[in-house]
Structure 1
Amino acid sequence: MDRALLDALGRDLQGELGVQWWVGDALPLRDEWRETESGLYRSIHLIHALMERAQGGEGNARRTWRLAIADAGLCAEGVGEVFGEAAMEGCCAVVGIQPLRGGSGADGQVLRARLLTQAVHELGHLAGAGHCRRASCVMYPSRHIADSDHKGHTFCAECRDALKLRGVQKT
């Protein structure tokens, strides 16, 4: 994984959400987590591994969010390929970077913007936000990379206000 990209994501998340961040130890992808047919990794296994790590780690596992950036494609049960997944109102989420490299114009800046969008989306789920029906809101579910490119990394007013009530959204 490109450390410069992870550092840029951390700075972007700090600026966007006001979160403190650090890059932790790498979480190895296990062969048994991979779907045989698609070659994609089952995202729930990465989330469970992060949760196990959180249980043995420093700080309060419920107050410290962990976001894994997998240099792979991901899938979820009953959904197929996904950009990421989160334990709703939990402590852990994952984003797969492989599909973010797809599509036209996926240069370094586009990849960085896509990664920020998906990271904010998954952290929104950790904060308790569900999917939004507004296509311009970061909480709108992305089915295709074009959805992610269109919506960007910002919350709509309704989602932002709901997160402020929970005390988790930067003002």
Structure 2
Amino acid sequence: MTLVNLTVNGQERECDVPDGTLLVHLLRDHLGMTGTHVGCDTSQCGACTVILNGEAVKSCTILAASVGNAELQTVEGLAEGDSLHDVQTAFRTHHGLQCGFCTPGMIMAAVNMIDRHKGQLDETLVRHDLEGNLCRCTGYHNIVKAILSAAETYRARHQAAMAQG
């Protein structure tokens, strides 16, 4: 057994897990955070994408024991109370989901993508950065529209903040 201390969505958490436990199972089975989905268990689909220390990662390929003292963000930590995160709102507005299975991973990948590129995205870059996240329903058109819309919101808010000083 390994004692894992980490910060999940701003809350310090501690779990005693078997040594071979994957991060996705720590989240789902030990912390009850089922928004992170188990898809392929081989890092092919991206349904398990979370943000670990500022980087989008596939939690099905990371041992929980290796993330001690890490900062972790999951889809459950995006909304602030009843207010959805801009990416969640854009996915809803632009119908960037169908069955919803890939949606949490897509959203987390999108949040990280927008942050990394400071909202400066175009369709080619979005499609390239989403290569590790699979959707079997939508053909990506509305997902890309949602991400580009959220990036525009990011840029507008950043510009407004800069103008205020």
TM-score normalized by the length of structure 1: 0.31
Give the number of the structure whose alpha-carbon radius of gyration is greater: 2
TM-score normalized by the length of structure 2: 0.32
Structure of higher RCO (CA pairs closer than 8 Å, 6+ residues apart): 2
